[in-house]
Structure 1
């Protein structure tokens, strides 16, 4: 057999050769340094036979991060071995421990256990200590392929492994990996030796997990770990986790009194509190202003619709798993609105349209409802009822690119306004052979071409993702990376030649004949709920002045300054600013601290000197910390704050 090296050279090897054999054939030093390999682009370990003719690249200790899935999976086996030794020291026999699955995941791994007594969180450091000892032993990982009967004998004490084997096809190869005296059913791949594994890992937590995700099965104990190629990467990851806890929008939502989710109202149905409602309205007003300037017409549609509406659009059939069940009213079936677009189609169809009328831009902050599994609900970012900044542009074919560019400009403006500058652009197109897509091939080809041409015209880098299109048309998604490095799919623009066909929408062309419009669906925020949740975490609750639900706190130093403070508050209020007075009996320092905890961006402190000169002392939050000014003329400050608010600085 032969393999092909990165430089194109062929390497002749014995039949059944492994990546380790290839490394040895190149040189002993490479064989010593090798950790893993890729074969035809797929990660493999050094112990697994290579396919004949494979293109291979060897991964060495110079670039261990390239083999992260392997070292994470191998550390999972080391942890499983350490758990065995932990319970052996407690006097339990080896077969008292049963093991479920243990895959690698992003940043780490997990392993499911059926244990004679539960592991406690405080036991995890001891397990880590045993893991480091196992790594220090330098144990070789060996791979063995065995017949089914022999495999079943090896795992006879473990019902979970027996079940896994019995569920595999008869011709499926069964492999075991071993390090020291620990053996486990596993398809791999693995590092060659425990001594080559990174020690920059940490066991994070334990939880309960149903065997194979089925609530009718036993609950196993799941232990999570994370691992990186270097200690620096691990430290950065742990720091981000702490930062994520600090920024958690559910925690900040409670502390800043933005929203609540009440079980009596229902799971996934947030209640917006006064502060959160102000934040939501500022976002809404920002978008409405942009839409007004760009020629959109506002519309409002009901929260339910006749089932036939969604059958015609295809949403009922294509999203059946996420729709709420229909309800019967006066012998007709209705459904909670899963999408705004079918309603907008009917608004367009409510009167005849001429080519001179197009484009028609209809915009709505429309609330829609989707059924989400209870376990997937998460604060504002995953809910069952949410409001989209939805709009549909009905355009002639010759207007599509220009309209698409206009929406692209709006969406980029939105993201820049909120400091979301790390964006990648993803074009979702059809997956060949997938039957979920509706409409003529020529429609799809035209729509996909229009999106690609528009994106290239403005010079945006993009990727094409087959299978990521909506069932009725291709789309451009904006994938944003937040300050914690997490990616969120926010805005989306879709070109849709098919819903106008399904609803038989037309306009009278210049030739006097009926023609089909094409629809652009767009939602720069995506949904107000999700966008707000992400925004809370992005800013850590420290909103800029224009967005902050509580903008100005006026702090009188003593009771004799209260009247002056309230006078200033009334003037700011008349100017359109959200100002409050803290006239409590607390000391000034305590009032300042309270305003900081509430993340109020501007504090005005007033005492004898300020009252006499109609001035204020200011303490203002900035990205660098706090900025303080004394002797500021109140009228000048008011004008400055009003300008910053109106300009959304």
Structure 2
């Protein structure tokens, strides 16, 4: 037998190496500089340690800090370094899990009776850097379930023992660096010396395995970099992100609020926030009507049987609010149960069934700004980005199989129109497909899934979208195209989504009469350009730091009288603006004009109209623009024309 294997590189070139070659060896054969920067290796689609031997023909990609998988490897290894430092400083502690996350990593730790204090984080950082300088290798070893169990029994770590219970013999690996050993599937960087900069960001509580009935562990969040300069830049970005935090700006700008008496994760939209939200809704409703959508409204609750039919109860039952029993009296069935709706699609399927449908009726596009409810755990709630009540800009297109690709492309066009109108110009599309190794988590057969996945991939290619394919990220009923949008700080958010579904029409027995006079199943396309109003508004606030496009701003002008003497003229100015659909307010407070201007600037009012003796005499207004200063004096008629042109520009220039 040959001792050689063929390695195919991303550019399609093929090289021969001896069996047992590692990613690091392959990098060295290309250049020493590349080898120094390789963090891990993707082998036939799976990420491995760059030091792990490859013994058969493979397609490989050498991963560096510039690759998301390379950063994940770096941060996963950093979590192990954190655990090593903690075990050295606090003997006897126990460990849960320590995964990489979007920016950095965390580790869940049981400190016993000790409560970790924030001031201790700096000492832990120093210990991590001290251990990193030792350049200890991350050594992978395959271990039997019996050996793994005995190791953690001796160590007395019940969390790792519980994790081992769910693993199969023959698939368990340990990683060791220095004096620390952890249960882990990997991969990891070659050695700790790659980690040059460390920052532990904060401490939080986290229930073991997300179960509020289990013990609460201490979750330590951190981030690391291969260069100190990169950490400095990241911390500066964090400071800017704090200024843009939608929770902070939402409170300051009086857009939304939360009340413990109303309930955690249930947002209250204040008047200004409601105006902002209404403008977004009306903007999309207008675009939808042009695109042939028909508005519908469905109830906030549904019979439990509806969600059993759709499959939502089986998949999301534990995340739904508990069933509501019908009142018990002589006229009601004692076994009636209702749920707050977790999704709008089952209701729309029932609307489709209200009358017979012909192939000539399709596509049928039903749209609803429908509020849905999911029971998110309290520790996962976060402002408007993770709530228990949210409104989806939902629509479902029922079409013939031969119309799927065309309809999908039309939805892509609608999503791009929304993003361009609101300044989200930097995005990639994620094609979310089935996990080929875990098909039992999805409903429907392979044939319909293959058709749906093919339609999405072809539509994305035809539109020339920049795409990445993610296995295992599909919805349980069908594949989807997710729009991953970058905000002004370079952070990625999942906003719009489009999904192809052959399964719900089957479950609900939806039909149409075809040209052959036979009955056929329609295909269902789910779509939501915003995703949800709550999440979209949160991202929009942080993207533009509260400086909304002029057409969207809930308060577009502030009329600022210099003193009480000019209140009547201020009222006249505002009345004329209001008649021209320009929104805002008059600041009648007994404050100096400098204070009024400062407050309007803080509240991010786009235009300030200052009125005093000269303005009242000449029937003019003195104009200031937020963030820029004086614009000049204008008559009220000229300002209205000027303002309307600026509104037009704020839409058309996107």
TM-score range, shorter chain: 0.7 to 0.9
Of the structure 1 ranges 639-648 and 400-409, higher mean CA displacement relative to structure 2 is found in 639-648
In structure 2, the CA distance between the partners of 1:125 and 1:601, relative to structure 1 (3 Å rule), is: same
SS in structure 2 of the partner of residue 319 of structure 1: helix
- Of 321, 326, 343 in structure 2, the residue corresponding to residue 324 of structure 1 is 321
Of the structure 1 ranges 391-400 and 580-589, higher mean CA displacement relative to structure 2 is found in 391-400
Q: CA deviation at 1:567?
A: 0.8
Contact kept? 1:553, 1:595, Cα under 8 Å: yes
Query: Any residues of structure 2 matched to 1:163-174 within 5 Å, and which?
Result: 163=161, 167=165
1:245-291 deviations in Å (ceiling 9; x for gaps): 22221222211111112121122221111111101110111111112
Match of 2:233 in 1: 236
TM-score by length of 1: 0.84
SS in structure 1 of the partner of residue 343 of structure 2: coil
- Of 268, 283, 294 in structure 1, the residue corresponding to residue 280 of structure 2 is 283
Contact kept? 1:340, 1:366, Cα under 8 Å: yes
Unaligned runs of 5+ in 2: 327-331
Of the structure 1 ranges 381-390 and 509-518, higher mean CA displacement relative to structure 2 is found in 509-518
TM-score by length of 2: 0.83
Query: Any residues of structure 2 matched to 1:544-555 within 5 Å, and which?
Result: 544-555=549-560
Q: CA deviation at 1:368?
A: 1.9
Contact kept? 1:198, 1:229, Cα under 8 Å: yes
Match of 2:98 in 1: 103
SS in structure 1 of the partner of residue 609 of structure 2: strand
Query: Any residues of structure 2 matched to 1:215-234 within 5 Å, and which?
Result: 219-234=216-231
Q: Tell whether 2:642 aligns with 1:640.
A: yes
SS in structure 2 of the partner of residue 177 of structure 1: strand
- Of 37, 40, 55 in structure 2, the residue corresponding to residue 52 of structure 1 is 55
Of the structure 1 ranges 572-581 and 99-108, higher mean CA displacement relative to structure 2 is found in 99-108
Q: CA deviation at 1:50?
A: 2.7
Unaligned runs of 5+ in 1: 88-95
Match of 1:92 in 2: none
Match of 2:200 in 1: 203
In structure 2, the CA distance between the partners of 1:449 and 1:216, relative to structure 1 (3 Å rule), is: closer
Q: CA deviation at 1:497?
A: 3.5
Of the structure 1 ranges 628-637 and 471-480, higher mean CA displacement relative to structure 2 is found in 471-480
In structure 2, the CA distance between the partners of 1:32 and 1:385, relative to structure 1 (3 Å rule), is: closer
SS in structure 2 of the partner of residue 545 of structure 1: coil
Contact kept? 1:414, 1:524, Cα under 8 Å: yes
- Paired with 1:4 and 1:314, the residues of 2 have a C-alpha distance of 46
Q: CA deviation at 1:63?
A: 8.7
In structure 2, the CA distance between the partners of 1:377 and 1:561, relative to structure 1 (3 Å rule), is: same
Q: CA deviation at 1:512?
A: 4.5
Of the structure 1 ranges 119-128 and 282-291, higher mean CA displacement relative to structure 2 is found in 119-128
Contact kept? 2:300, 2:341, Cα under 8 Å: yes
- Paired with 2:538 and 2:31, the residues of 1 have a C-alpha distance of 54
Q: Tell whether 2:573 aligns with 1:574.
A: no
Of the structure 1 ranges 498-507 and 363-372, higher mean CA displacement relative to structure 2 is found in 498-507
1:198-226 deviations in Å (ceiling 9; x for gaps): 32222222334455655566555443331
- Paired with 2:475 and 2:65, the residues of 1 have a C-alpha distance of 43
SS in structure 1 of the partner of residue 368 of structure 2: strand
CA RMSD of aligned residues (A): 4.0
Match of 2:632 in 1: 630
Count of paired positions: 631
Match of 2:536 in 1: 531
- Paired with 1:292 and 1:475, the residues of 2 have a C-alpha distance of 24
Contact kept? 1:59, 1:66, Cα under 8 Å: no
Q: CA deviation at 1:536?
A: 1.6
1:537-578 deviations in Å (ceiling 9; x for gaps): 222211122111111101112222222111101110111111
- Paired with 2:263 and 2:18, the residues of 1 have a C-alpha distance of 66
Of the structure 1 ranges 365-374 and 304-313, higher mean CA displacement relative to structure 2 is found in 304-313
Q: CA deviation at 1:172?
A: 6.9
Q: CA deviation at 1:420?
A: 0.9
- Of 343, 346, 354 in structure 2, the residue corresponding to residue 342 of structure 1 is 346
Q: CA deviation at 1:475?
A: 2.8
In structure 2, the CA distance between the partners of 1:413 and 1:66, relative to structure 1 (3 Å rule), is: closer
Of the structure 1 ranges 483-492 and 26-35, higher mean CA displacement relative to structure 2 is found in 26-35
Of the structure 1 ranges 200-209 and 136-145, higher mean CA displacement relative to structure 2 is found in 136-145
Contact kept? 1:97, 1:116, Cα under 8 Å: no
1:93-138 deviations in Å (ceiling 9; x for gaps): xxx4424256352343444352775443223333334444445566
Q: Tell whether 2:252 aligns with 1:248.
A: no
